[in-house]
């Protein structure tokens, strides 16, 4: 997936990782609780998790590469077991008109065997549900 946002790569990266709570739709969290926080621990090996208003933490993934502001990679296992994690790589490229092209590659589905294709399709619908919020919020 690829799209352009009206901000610098630094702002795009920071919005994705540091302001996810503001743009991530509650309907796309595990708890579905309004007020849940989305946390990206800003380092390689850091966790990606949801913290509910009651303090429960639900792990979604683990950061593999943190190269602010150009690249972010993580293992993603939201709503599934850790051993079923897939790979997400996000690149932030500055365009000549001072905007940012965001490129997302989500792979590793073949490791899931027979369920990989079904999970891939379901996850594509998930991206469709969260990316419009990110694009809109990244302008702020």
Domains, the chain, ordered by start: 2-137 (3.30.530.20)
Is residue 140 over pLDDT 90?
Answer: no
Give 11-46 pLDDT, tens digit per residue.
Answer: 999 999 999 999 999 999 999 999 999 999 999 999
Q: Cα-flanking dihedrals φ and ψ of residue 133, to 5°?
A: -65, -40
Q: In whole angstroms, give the CA distance from residue 66 to residue 30.
A: 24
DSSP-derived pairing of the beta strands 47-51 and 100-107: unpaired
In percent, the amount of the chain with pLDDT more than 90 equals 85
Confidence at residue 92, expressed as pLDDT on a 0 to 100 scale: 98
Confidence at residue 87, expressed as pLDDT on a 0 to 100 scale: 97
Indicate the range of 10-19, 45-54, 124-133 predicted with least confidence.
124-133
Is residue 125 over pLDDT 90?
Answer: no
Give 83-108 pLDDT, tens digit per residue.
Answer: 999 999 999 999 999 999 999 999 99
- Full-prediction pTM beyond 0.85? yes
> Distance between the two ends of the chain, CA-based, in angstroms?
22
Confidence at residue 127, expressed as pLDDT on a 0 to 100 scale: 92
pLDDT tier for residue 69 given thresholds of 50, 70 and 90 = very high
């Amino acid at each position: 997936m690829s799209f352009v946002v009206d901000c610098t790569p630094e702002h795009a990266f920071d919005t994705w990782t540091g302001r996810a709570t503001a743009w991530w739709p509650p309907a796309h969290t595990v708890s579905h609780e309004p007020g849940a926080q989305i946390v990206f621990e800003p380092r390689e090996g850091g966790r990606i998790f949801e913290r509910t208003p009651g303090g429960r933490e639900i792990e979604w993934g683990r950061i593999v590469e943190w190269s602010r502001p150009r690249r972010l990679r993580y293992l993603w296992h939201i709503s599934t077991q850790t051993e079923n994690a897939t790979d997400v790589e996000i690149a932030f490229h500055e365009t000549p008109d001072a905007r940012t092209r965001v490129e997302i590659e989500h792979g590793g589905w073949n490791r899931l065997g027979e369920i990989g294709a079904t999970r891939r399709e379901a996850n594509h619908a998930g991206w469709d549900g969260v990316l419009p919020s990110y694009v809109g919020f990244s302008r702020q």
